[in-house]
Structure 1
Amino acid sequence: MSGGLNADRPAQSSRAYVTLVTNADYVLGARALVRSLSLSGTDADIVVLHTGAVRREELTSHAALGARLVRTELLPTSDAFNQRHSRKNQHEAAPFTKGEKPHFHTPLDNFAKLRLWQLVEYDSIVFIDADALVLQNCDLLFDYPQFCAAPNVYESLSDFHRMNSGVFTAKPSAEAFEAMLAALDQPDAFWRRTDQTFLQHYFPDWHGLPVFYNMLQYVWFNMPELWDWQDIKILHFQYEKPWQVPHPKVTQLAPLIDLWKCYAGDDHVPALQDLPSPGEHV
């Protein structure tokens, strides 16, 4: 495989769901995501793109669930770029005020998402963050154009102006990857929300997916009228992660955390119609 990517086996499809794992905590998240994808009935490849910070042995259970493991590294960005986007500098320059980012959040790692454009053995890719669950089959997204993403909705209607990069569609191309890398590491460039800000800048005419393809967990308590389990395709645990202990919002998000735990283990996963609505949760 070209571009410094090293896969454990050849591709089995022209389409793939791809997630990124850069540390041990996201190993936990990715395992639940991979299981949710396998239970969705997809016939696309499920790819775990992982950096050298994660040993392949740590992903054995992911492979057992059908995931294709692809080893990569962080982007070859400049020292100045890396310094600007260190956790300390990025969080000080653009603090998170709506929720808490866990201690393992490393802003610079996020840019490694761009590596998926190097997976040229695929015609179409759907990227999903490792802190998400696929609740219903989403294979129709492979027929969507590049670049599609859902708006970053979790507090108010004003959120519709911004995209969230936790789920998006892409068409791999070596030329596109090189062009994106050149556009990313410009002198004095600072991407406030890392890959998310960059991708919205790079694809200013991004196509909007329905919010149900990237339903952010804070909608549960901020905009409960928008929450309908039957509509939700992908549930995304932005900010706090469901495996965190202690979890600062465990009371507010208990039903969502419980659902994630079902996927993370080998437990029976409840049907969507059997899950409580925000109004039923006290």
Structure 2
Amino acid sequence: MGVEPNSIVAAAVPAEIDARAADELLAFARHLDRAASAWLDSLGEDGRRHGRRVGYVLIGTPEYALGMDVLVRSLRAVTDLPILVLAAGGWKPTLRATNLAVLAVPEIVKQDLEGSLAARFRRTLTKLWAFSFVSLDRLVYLDGDCLVRQTIDDLFDGEGFAAAPDLLCNQPHPVFNSGVFALSPDAAMRQSLFASLPATPSFDGGDQGILNAFFGADVTWLPARDNYLRTYEPLMPGAADAARVIHYTAKKPWTPQSESIGDHALLGLDDVWTEKLDRAGLMALVGTWRRAVADSETAANTALRRIEAELVDQRRGAKRLMRRVLLALGLVALLQAGLLVAWLSG
């Protein structure tokens, strides 16, 4: 992986673009396509499969840096086809691989999700930049929390839009998972997607809901092994062995925190992911976990100190209250004694 990447630097890339700004989205999409097309031209036949211009499209952010490193390594172990990495959120990747280019992109932000239950999906629309590349005959998109275990180059041989079902999605109709898909992009599709984005409904508030609504039933269904969600493992133990792509949904293997009770049962798949890290990646993982543990301990200690301080205040308050009660009882006793003396004297 010691090859320098081709960095395609776009001038004045904004940090984000509002999902409702269709004209801005389309203008930047056209810019992306021109930049990628020029790079792919420079690759010659290395950028083609069976005469078609193809490429893998990945999107990464600083939070997914380790995931992207593993994804690129796993891809390069099974394919030599071009990889186009879209760097969002100010991420400056240090990825090294042959036929790999990095292109800075703004995040596509759904502002109307602020404060809602779906707010965690407000930036997932950034993956819609994949629809920019109409100069490609076909592309394959993968989320940054995927691990490729077998070649999936054959996904470039199809037509239209293809994705695997999301077997755990609680919807009344079949739903595909948008973490892996193959696409034959064209200008009309790009125009329609970005122009209709503000009004397109989304059952999850994110890209998966929008893409399912956009394509409807016009989907070629891939087998689950082409996008095997980590969360399938408790229901289909051992099925991951035949998976071509493992998708680490929910808990990420580079984070120490668990998201559900069953996470501990899936550690075997985390080990499969970790095996793809080099020494630098392992050191980064250890450093990330140490900082996470330290932050957790600091937060816990801060909470304990706050509780101790509150208990001290409560004890002091109780003592003050007891003194007041005793003083009041003493005054009552004195008053009663005075009344008794007055009665006896009278």
TM over 0.5: yes
TM bracket, shorter-chain basis? 0.7 to 0.9
Alignment partners' CA distance in 1, 2:169 and 2:268:
19
Given candidates 221, 246, 253, the residue that maps to 2:257 is 246
Residues 193 and 236 (structure 1), Cα distance of their counterparts in 2 relative to 1, 3 Å cut: farther
**TM-score normalised by structure 2 residue count:** 0.62
1:83 and 2:97 equivalent? no
Match of 1:217 in 2: 230
| Alignment: residue pair count | 238
DSSP 3-state at the match of 2:122: helix
Given candidates 169, 177, 185, the residue that maps to 1:164 is 177
Alignment partners' CA distance in 2, 1:214 and 1:91:
23
Alignment partners' CA distance in 2, 1:266 and 1:139:
28
Residues 123 and 7 (structure 1), Cα distance of their counterparts in 2 relative to 1, 3 Å cut: closer
Query: What are the within-5 Å matches in structure 2 for residues 1-282 of structure 1?
Result: 3-5=30-32, 10-11=39-40, 12=43, 13=47, 14-21=53-60, 23-40=61-78, 42-55=79-92, 59-60=93-94, 62-64=95-97, 66-75=99-108, 82-86=110-114, 88-91=115-118, 106-154=120-168, 161-186=174-199, 189-205=201-217, 206-224=219-237, 227-229=239-241, 231-248=242-259, 250-265=263-278
Alignment partners' CA distance in 1, 2:270 and 2:124:
23
**TM-score normalised by structure 1 residue count:** 0.75
2:233/2:240 contact within 8 Å kept: no
1:34/1:67 contact within 8 Å kept: no
Q: Say what the alpha-carbon RMSD is for the aligned residues.
A: 2.8
Offset of residue 38 of structure 1:
0.1
Q: Which amino acid aligns with 1:109?
A: R
Higher relative contact order (CA 8 A, sep 6+): 1
Residues 240 and 257 (structure 1), Cα distance of their counterparts in 2 relative to 1, 3 Å cut: same
DSSP 3-state at the match of 1:53: coil
DSSP 3-state at the match of 1:264: coil
Report which of the two structures shows the higher radius of gyration computed on alpha carbons.
2
User: Which stretches in structure 2 are left out of the alignment for 5+ residues?
Assistant: 1-9, 11-28, 48-52, 281-346
Alignment partners' CA distance in 2, 1:113 and 1:51:
10
User: Which stretches in structure 1 are left out of the alignment for 5+ residues?
Assistant: 93-105, 268-282
More helix by share: 2
DSSP 3-state at the match of 2:76: helix
Offset of residue 193 of structure 1:
4.2
Runs of 4+ in structure 1 off by over 3 angstroms are 6-9, 63-66, 247-250
Alignment partners' CA distance in 2, 1:83 and 1:28:
28
Alignment partners' CA distance in 2, 1:155 and 1:115:
24
Offset of residue 212 of structure 1:
0.3
Q: Which amino acid aligns with 1:27?
A: A
Of all paired residues, the percent bearing the same amino acid is: 28
